[in-house]
Amino acid sequence: MSRYSRRLVDILNGESREDLSRRFNETEAAPEYAPVPKGVYSTDLSSGELTNSGSGTPGYNLGFTIREGEFTGRRVWHTLWLTPAAMPMTKRDLAKLGITRLDQLERPVPPGIVCQLTVSLRTDDDGETRNRVTRYEVVEIRPDSTADADFADPEAGTESGGAA
């Protein structure tokens, strides 16, 4: 038996091997992306997840997707550290997103948050240039387009589930 335990047929979920093969052969590989230039970007907050640094430091990683311009669709990340020294800034920045309790970090970020992101460039000790978010502000909270009106409270005029 080969060192690989699974075969394509095991993961296709009903798609034919031929269809996957055709799509694979017709798809061009994505380019390697350099960091976006420093500047101010309109972004959607697209993710938030607990993380650890390489040395084990706990943090919360925010993912932002650029909404417009030459870099539309590109992602920029910002890590908020959960250390004693960083906690005051982390709490400040999480509060901008409506996150005021630690247990909220274990839930998906609320949908529809639009942020203005200030991005700079930094060069790490290894010579690698990376983006660094120096500031973000929430500029709009759009209604959840995936919300089902059938679950709205007709008397209150709002959804009965509440925000995250």
pLDDT tens, 67-80?
A: 999 999 999 999 99
Residue 80 belongs to what domain range?
Answer: 42-141
Strands (DSSP E) along the chain, which ranges? Answer: 39-52, 58-66, 75-81, 113-123, 129-141, 152-153, 158-159
Residue 112 in domain: yes
164 or 24: which leads in pLDDT: 24
List the one residue out of 58, 42, 155 whose CA is nearest residue 106.
58
- Please write the tens of the pLDDT for every residue from 44-71: 999 999 999 999 999 999 999 999 999 9
Residue 114 in domain: yes
Total tally of structural domains belonging to the chain: 1
Neighbours of 53 (CB within 10 A): 11
Residue 49 in domain: yes
Residue 73 in domain: yes
149: pLDDT strictly greater than 70: no
What is the pLDDT, as a whole number, of residue 153?
47
